[in-house]
Amino acid sequence: MEQKVIRDDHPRGRSGWRPRRVNLTSEHLSIKPSDFDYLKIIGKGSFGKVLLARHRETTKYYAVKVLQKKIILKKKEQKHIMAERSVLMKNIKHPFLVGLHYSFQTTDKLYFVLDYVNGGELFYHLQRERVFLEPRARFYAAEIASALGYLHSLHIVYRDLKPENILLDSQGHIVLTDFGLCKEGLDPSGTTSTFCGTPEYLAPEVLQKQAYDRTVDWWCLGSVLYEMLYGLPPFYSRNTAEMYNNILHNAPVLKPNISNSGRELLEGLLQKERSKRLGAKDDFLELKYHSFFSPINWDDLMAKKITPPFAPSVSGPTDLRHFDPEFTHLPVSASLCGDSVMVTSSVKEAAGAFPGFSYGPPADHSFM
């Protein structure tokens, strides 16, 4: 499912912004794998699994991402994992970004304890319904845009927006997840040049291996909005070379089944020249005040006072109908509950490779 090209040799910058949180060392952090009951596998990635877990003491449900250190080290991905942790810690309370409760490690594994969201991936719902009507697509695009604008305000570029990374909560609101490809420390005029992302959604400047800026996220939003309205990404082809050629040279085909303001927004977001792209001057504000979003009251949107156009039918936290059975039918391994390895020299190397990974909120916020 993952089609990521990842390579990043640049040191991560600092935005100067500091969350009011307490970063605890593993010595002070008493949380451990056996504090949870692991109920089901709900996702898989390159480095490990995501599980539905229940905290034994509070009985609250969380999504626990369990990553194998040796695979991360083998693929030289430590930097991306630590960047993901850093970005998660900066999201104190944005309504449309997944929240981190704890991170901790054992000798051979890393654990992220995250908000549990069980309305399914946008990808799943789009596959089932093929296209969304414009008001529904507008609602999702508005919530996604506000989340991206917030990340940009923290000098973070997301870089991997796609329907698989966009979840729905049980009410039908957007939750953006998976911050592994985020770039930190990129100020409004800053650029980077790492070639990364997912083929269908790559911006032309990334594909050409040119310097790019935060407007890559607005290109990706244009691609996702197009897919919601038309059923496929704008330049899609089964032939990757042909798809890349489409991205670089062809205009997106805008059929007449959407409003003029919708067409205008897509043309602005899918502008191949990044300096002319919608969002190049004033970032999120350019989208916020675009006529396509005129039906949206942004204050109500942020306060979740707008009723979502679609509510996933879920009976409770253990209702997994919106997760892929390919994952939920897999057996949960007992090895997830702690260290299960012989301590070899390579394991010792892995054990010390992620200093400062463990995190917990202040004691009075513990498992709130």
| Residue 74 is labelled as binding a ligand | yes
State the Cα–Cα distance between residues 198 and 189, nearest whole angstrom.
Answer: 24
The single residue listed with the structure tokens 């089964």 is: 238
Quick one: DSSP state of residue 62? E
283 belongs to the catalytic site: no
Q: Of these residues, 8, 108, 160, 283, which one is catalytic?
A: 160
State the Cα–Cα distance between residues 99 and 359, nearest whole angstrom.
Answer: 13
Helix (H) or strand (E) holding 81: helix 78-90
Burial of 179 (0-12, 13-18, 19+ CB in 10 A): buried
Pairing relationship of beta strands 174-176 and 166-168 according to DSSP bridges: antiparallel
State the Cα–Cα distance between residues 205 and 305, nearest whole angstrom.
Answer: 38
Nearest alpha carbon to residue 77 among 196, 157, 207, 203: 196
Pairing relationship of beta strands 48-55 and 36-44 according to DSSP bridges: antiparallel
The residues carrying an active-site annotation are: 160
Task: List the binding residues for ATP.
Answer: 74
The binding site consists of: 74
